[in-house]
Amino acid sequence: MTLGIVKRTEDDLTQWLATESGFISGLCQYDNEPVVLEPYQQSFLGNRSRFRWVAKSRQVGFSFLFALEALARCHLRDGHTAVFVSYNLSDAVEKVLIARQVYEELPLAYQKKLVTDAKTELAFESNSRGRRLSRIISVPAKPPRGKRGDVYLDELAHLVNDREVYTGSTALILRSHGQLTGGSTPLGRRGIFWEIDTQELRKYPHHARQLVPWWLCRFFSLDVSRAAVEAPRMSTEERVARFGRPVLTEQFDSLPQEDFQQEFECLLRRRVLQLPPLRAHPPVHHRRAADGPGRLRRARAPGPPGGGFRRGPHARPLRAGRIRRGGGPLHLQDAAQLRRCPLRGAGSPPPSTPVRPARGAPQR
């Protein structure tokens, strides 16, 4: 058996380092250890679609990968801008810290000059003519308007204003010919992330989707290559027992099965629809007025906030048995009296009999 040895030339090495995957694998270190990319991470880096959509398990390294890709593109391109939109401010700062640490461990020959070093922004000056700046900007959950470049929407399904963030981010990639990336662990059948990922409500034909459950990550799976083929046909208990490492088995034993499936297997939990809490209406105040032989209670508007009840005769709330007829809610004291004295419409003339003041009302 003859083994073929492929000798890579210097041009091949240069071309490989000019790609995001090659730059990260060949030059980047984290905690003094070389960065080793998973197959699904390499597939993500090679995806050139304008819209990349990733439904992923927890702790499979995509937030880390977003920071590495942004750092690599800032060094491989002049005038590049990467914008991170994170769940909160601490997550936004964390991505900049990762990029800052990996930058410090780059070989000096490949480092660009760091001219802005802040908690939520890094800027690198190009060595070429023109000294153009490449930037990494990280913001908490809000639409990143006024910028352009690549956009990373991390944990989009967990943002309260997810639809507003997505709508305000799509235009950033137009003039820059960048990419918009949405990556998140699912959170039930709700929100813009779920709509685009599943396409149950409408089609999103320009989004390239990627699914990354736990068994594709070597930190969780004993045999990634076999699990990629066999695990999708198994139940959750079977694949955890067959391919799960002890750290994953602990997670499976510590969570309800539906929560584990959503957090680590990208399966949507059957959520109960939660309605917003009912608003307590202000108390309604009333006065008694005579309308022909029958005496009716007519509602009055509440007083100013903090001022308590509006004063007036018979200021008490309505009870059951109300009829709405022209002048607001009415309380009927005696149904037999109503049959003898029908209610007037909104445009009816006043009764011929004089109005008798209510009991206790001041005489005029």
Tens of pLDDT, residue by residue, the chain (364 residues): 444 545 568 888 889 999 999 999 999 999 989 999 999 999 999 999 999 999 999 999 999 999 999 999 999 999 999 999 998 999 999 999 999 999 999 999 999 999 999 999 999 998 877 788 999 999 998 888 888 899 999 999 999 999 999 999 999 998 888 999 999 999 989 899 999 999 999 999 999 999 999 999 999 999 999 999 999 999 999 999 999 999 999 999 999 999 999 999 998 865 434 445 555 555 445 454 444 555 545 545 555 555 554 455 544 554 544 444 444 444 444 444 445 545 444 444 555 555 555 555 555 4
Rounded-to-integer distance, Cα 37 and Cα 35, Å: 6
| CA dist list (Å): 211 to 185, 201, 220 | 10, 19, 16
In-domain check, residue 94: yes
Whether residues 198 and 246 share a domain: the answer is no
| Closest of 302, 339, 311, 307 to residue 323, by C-alpha | 339
Q: Are residues 115 and 177 in the same domain?
A: yes
What confidence score (pLDDT) does residue 265 get? 95
| Domain-located, residue 324 | no
Instruction: Establish if 248 belongs to a structural domain.
Output: yes
Taking the C-alpha atoms of residue 142 and residue 161, their distance in angstroms, rounded to an integer, is: 8
Q: What are phi and psi of 139, to 5 degrees?
A: -130, 150
Same-domain check for residues 256 and 206: no
CA distance 236 to 265: 9
Asked if residue 237 and residue 157 are part of one domain, the reply reads no
Q: Does residue 335 lie in a domain region?
A: no
Residue 241 Cα to chain centre, angstroms: 32
- The CATH number of residue 178's host domain is 3.40.50.300
Hey, what amino acid is at 200? E
Judge whether 1 lies within some domain. Answer: no
Q: Do 100 and 164 sit in the same domain of this protein?
A: yes
SS3 state of residue 85: strand
Q: Last residue of a domain, which of 172, 190, 212?
A: 212
Amino acid 11: pLDDT:
84
* pTM of the predicted model as reported, rounded to 2 decimal places: 0.71
Which of 189, 212, 235 is where one domain is finished? 212
How far CA 207 is from CA of 183, 288, 313, in Å, comes to: 12, 65, 66
pLDDT in tens, 244-276: 999 999 999 999 999 999 999 998 865 434 445
What is the dihedral sign for C-alpha 157, 163, 166, 168?
Answer: negative
The DSSP line for 55-80 is EE-TTSSHHHHHHHHHHHHHHHSSS-
Do 149 and 230 lie in one domain? The reply is no
**188 and 55 in a common domain:** yes
Looking at residue 203, its pLDDT comes to 95
Residue 227 lies in a domain: yes
**What are the backbone angles phi and psi of residue 291, rounded to the nearest 5°?**
-135, 90
Long-range Cβ contact pairs of 241-250 (< 8 A, separation 24 or more): 243/215, 244/214, 244/215, 244/220, 245/219, 245/220, 245/221, 247/219, 247/220, 248/214, 248/220, 248/221
Where b means 16+ CB within 10 Å and e means fewer, 221-249 reads: beebeebbeebeeeebeebbebbbeeebe
* pLDDT value, residue 70: 97
122 & 55 share domain = yes
> Which residue is listed with tokens 């597939």?
43
SS3 for 323?
Answer: strand
The verdict on residue 18 lying in a domain is yes
Give yes or no: residues 172 and 250 share one domain: no
Same domain, 156 and 238: no
Q: What is the pLDDT of residues 22-35, one digit of tens each?
A: 999 999 999 989 99
Number of compact structural domains in the chain: 2
Q: What is the pLDDT of residue 13?
A: 87
Q: Looking at the structure, tell me whether residues 82 and 229 fall in a common domain.
A: no
In a domain, 98, yes or no: yes
Contacts of 356 (CB under 8 A, 6+ apart): 290
Q: Give 179: exposed, middle or buried? Use CB within 10 Å, 0-12, 13-18, 19+.
A: buried
The phi, psi pair for 126, rounded to 5°, reads -70, 150
> In the listed set 212, 227, 242, which residue is the last one of a domain according to the structure?
212
Question: What does the pLDDT look like over 178-220, one tens digit per residue?
Answer: 999 999 999 989 899 999 999 999 999 999 999 999 999 999 9
Q: Are residues 202 and 235 in the same domain?
A: no
Q: What is the domain range of residue 235?
A: 219-271
SS3 category, 181: strand
> Bridge-partner residues for 114, per DSSP?
124
